[in-house]
Copies of this chain bind each other. A is one copy, B any other.
Amino acid sequence: MKIRVIPYAAAVHPQEIAGKTTIIIDVLRATSVIITALKNGADKIIPALTVEEALETSKKLTPGTFLLCGERDTIKIEGFDLGNSPLEFRQSKVAGKTLIMTTSNGTQALNASRVAAKVYLGAFLNAKAVAEKVKQEKEVVLVCSGTAGRFSLDDGLCAAMIMEELSKSIPLRPDDLGLALAKIWQSENGNLQKLLKDSFHLNYLLQKGFAGDVDYCLQKNSTSVVPVFSGSEIILS
């Protein structure tokens, strides 16, 4: 299988993913949140690029059937029901609900992926399960969402973990970024605590008081839930 890794959302060019199978990765925290929400019974997630778009979408839905979710600079958007902390997305809150969600990086990557043939969402939580979904493909593009237009190592290492899961059943031909990330992963046997010690976004979340979220998002293979994005909404695949 040919593997291409995109370093951050702003670096996605439509022609590179048009017609291809992609996995969007935003470990801290959008894809971890979406996986958790669907696991806990949310009906679907509608991503929105902006707060205005989220509010606009909410006007078309019946009150009580949806929740407005999202963050800017890690903090819950004012007036919204939920932020971007996976620990908030409990069954009692989200079961049966439509979640309208806007986040700083993850929803940008989703928006850029509309031209892809299939768009799955991956994180450490479901790395093995998402690898299983795509293992018949000839080519997969792993889109690391990154942080504010920059490469984020947590997303890159999740790409490496998905590659490792894939490589257990099929030979891979990764591009140079894929090769580099696999090398880093192997250098510490996938020990995330060691590998992410000095990384920017993780430390930023710790500073902001989100240590619980970080611990949660770095759990590996805790679920077999794999979200899929249809171009307008995200549901269980």
B183 & A195 in contact (Cβ 8 Å cutoff) = yes
Q: Which residues of B contact A16 (CB under 8 A)?
A: 149
A140 at the interface (CB under 8 A from B): no
Binds B, one of A18-26, A71-79, A172-180: A172-180
Q: Return A74 CB to nearest CB of chain B, in Å.
A: 17
> Which B-chain residue is minimally distant from A186 (CB atoms)?
B187
The size of the chain A interface, using a CB distance under 8 A, is 26
Q: Which of B177, B179, B186, B199 contacts A176 (CB 8 A)?
A: B199
Judge whether A151 and B7 touch: CB under 8 Å: yes
Q: Is A198 an interface residue (CB 8 A)?
A: yes
Specify the chain B residue showing the minimal Cβ separation from A184: B183
Q: Determine how many copies of this chain the complex contains.
A: 2
CB distance from A204 to the nearest CB of B (A): 11
Q: How far is the CA of A195 from the CA of B180 in the complex (A)?
A: 9
CB proximity to B under 8 Å, residues A181-236: 181, 183-184, 186-187, 195, 198-201
Q: Contact between A176 and B149 (Cβ–Cβ < 8 Å)?
A: no
For the residues of A in contact with B, the DSSP-based class is helix
Would you call B181 and A153 a contact (CB within 8 A)?
no
State A16–B10 Cα separation when bound (angstroms): 13
Residues of B within 8 A of A149 (CB): 13, 16
Interface 1/0s, chain A 150-161, versus B by CB < 8 A?
Answer: 111100100000
Q: Cβ of A176 and Cβ of B200 under 8 Å apart?
A: yes
Q: Tell me whether A11 is interfacial, beta carbon within 8 Å.
A: yes
Bound Cα distance from A180 to B160, whole angstroms: 12
Name 9 extra pairs, CB < 8 A, besides A153-B177, A186-B187: A7-B151, A10-B13, A150-B176, A150-B177, A153-B176, A175-B200, A176-B200, A180-B184, A183-B187
* 23 A/B residue pairs, CB under 8 Å, sorted by A: A7-B11, A7-B151, A11-B11, A13-B149, A150-B176, A150-B177, A151-B175, A151-B176, A151-B180, A152-B176, A153-B177, A153-B179, A153-B180, A156-B180, A175-B200, A176-B199, A176-B200, A179-B198, A179-B199, A180-B184, A183-B184, A183-B195, A184-B187
